[in-house]
Amino acid sequence: MIVQKHFEEAHQLLSQLLASPDFLTSVNNSAQCMSSQLKLGKKIMSCGNGGSMCDAMHFAEELSGRYRDNRPAIAAMSISDPSHMSCVGNDYGYDFVFSRMVEAIGNEGDVLLAISTSGNSANVLKAAEAAKAKGMKVIALTGKDGGKLAPLCDFEVRVPWMGYADRIQEIHIKVIHSFIDFIERNID
């Protein structure tokens, strides 16, 4: 049955990752980095394409809004403003829609959460390069072999799934929720 196969694949991948100390350490270290930078008064910017943009938006709104409990707002924003993206896409090309915002408001010590299931999205790569040039920390959620994004990161959380991107995205959202919970518990 097709429906059952989806759940079996997801269960298989999640079990594989739960058994990987390297994977769990990468999630923990990434969350620790974000928490540390927030404690220093820095902010987190996030970006991605398609479903990864939705994940970047979800991450930022849970921090600036509320995840589980009431608490002060946390400095986080996704690069997803349609007017910015259409302006930059028209004037410079779609490869620059994220990097231009990083150049505009990213500061040394801020964090960029760059999300790309392939690790090869040109606009996410340019955002990571712009963030590094500004002295920002770069944390990436990737899949497959990490792609070209892997060497641009301070911390990478890789989902080593060589199949379709939906399995990778399912793990990314679990990682994002883990990040948010860790941050909420560690920034007071």
Mean pLDDT, rounded, for 149-154: 98
pLDDT at 1 (0 to 100):
87
User: Is residue 132 pLDDT above 90, yes or no?
Assistant: yes
Report the C-alpha gap between 130 and 99 in whole angstroms.
6
Identify the band that residue 29 occupies on the pLDDT scale cut at 50, 70 and 90. very high
Q: Each residue of 43-89: pLDDT tens digit?
A: 999 999 999 999 999 999 999 999 999 999 999 999 999 999 999 99
For the packed helices 165-186 and 2-18, what is the interaxial angle rounded to 10 degrees? 50
Report the C-alpha gap between 47 and 123 in whole angstroms.
9
Q: Quickly count: other Cβ atoms within 10 Å of residue 155's Cβ.
A: 20
Identify the band that residue 116 occupies on the pLDDT scale cut at 50, 70 and 90. very high
- Neighbour-count burial of 40, counting CB atoms closer than 10 A to its CB (0-12 exposed, 13-18 middle, 19+ buried): exposed
Report the C-alpha gap between 150 and 71 in whole angstroms.
33
**Whether the model pTM is above 0.95:** yes
C-beta separation of 176 from 55 below 8 A = yes
What's the domain range around 137? 2-186
User: Is residue 41 pLDDT above 90, yes or no?
Assistant: yes
**pLDDT averaged over the chain?**
97
Mean pLDDT, rounded, for 138-161: 97
Whichever domain contains 104, its CATH number is 3.40.50.10490
User: Is residue 188 pLDDT above 80, yes or no?
Assistant: no
Percent of the chain whose predicted confidence (pLDDT) is above 70? 100
Report the C-alpha gap between 110 and 134 in whole angstroms.
9
Identify the band that residue 176 occupies on the pLDDT scale cut at 50, 70 and 90. very high
Q: Tokens 């002060």 — which residue?
A: 72
Mean pLDDT, rounded, for 82-103: 98
Instruction: Give how many domains the chain has, as a whole number.
Output: 1
C-beta separation of 180 from 188 below 8 A = no
